[in-house]
Amino acid sequence: MSWVDVGALAELRFQPGAPVKLDGHWIALFRQGDELLAIDNNCPHASAPLCDGTVLGGKVICFLHCWEFDLRTGACDVGAQWNLRTYPVRIDGDRVLVDWPGPPLPAPKHR
Ligand code: FES
């Protein structure tokens, strides 16, 4: 586990997701009841920020073309090749910590 402090809970800007940049990679934190869930922020379809999407039934719905992603698993309703990474989150006092494995490997280039 590699817990990274991403800020004070009171200072995160939920819109409904709160975007956070780690090693140049954007993730988004979402409130689900008393929990915080973290998922990659960029939609794999056309890179819209999922923090600006709509949260419904444990999923975030991208505002551009309505692809849906499960906030707990990162599963994409369009196909598993579009699944996103998710990250464990914990709160320590007023601080929010994300278990950050490092940025994803770059996608292979197509010729
Ligand atoms: S950019 Fe997210 S569904 Fe198209």
Is 48 a member of any domain?
yes
Helix (H), strand (E), coil (C) string for the chain: CCEEEEEEHHHCCCCCCEEEEECCEEEEEEEECCEEEEEECECCCCCCEHHHCEEECCEEECCCCCCEEECCCCCECCCHHHCCCEECEEEECCEEEEECCCCCCCCCCCC
pLDDT digits (tens, 9 = 90+) for 21-68: 999 999 999 999 999 999 999 999 999 999 999 999 999 999 999 999
Residue 107 has pLDDT above 90, yes or no: no
Which residue has the least CA distance to atom 3 on ligand 1? Answer: 65
* Ligand 1 centroid, distance to 111 Cα (angstroms): 24
Instruction: Quote the pLDDT of residue 52.
Output: 98
Is 109 a member of any domain?
no
The CATH number of the domain holding residue 37 is: 2.102.10.10
Is 17 a member of any domain?
yes
* Ligand 1 centroid, distance to 71 Cα (angstroms): 16
The arithmetic mean of pLDDT across residues 6-13, rounded, is 97
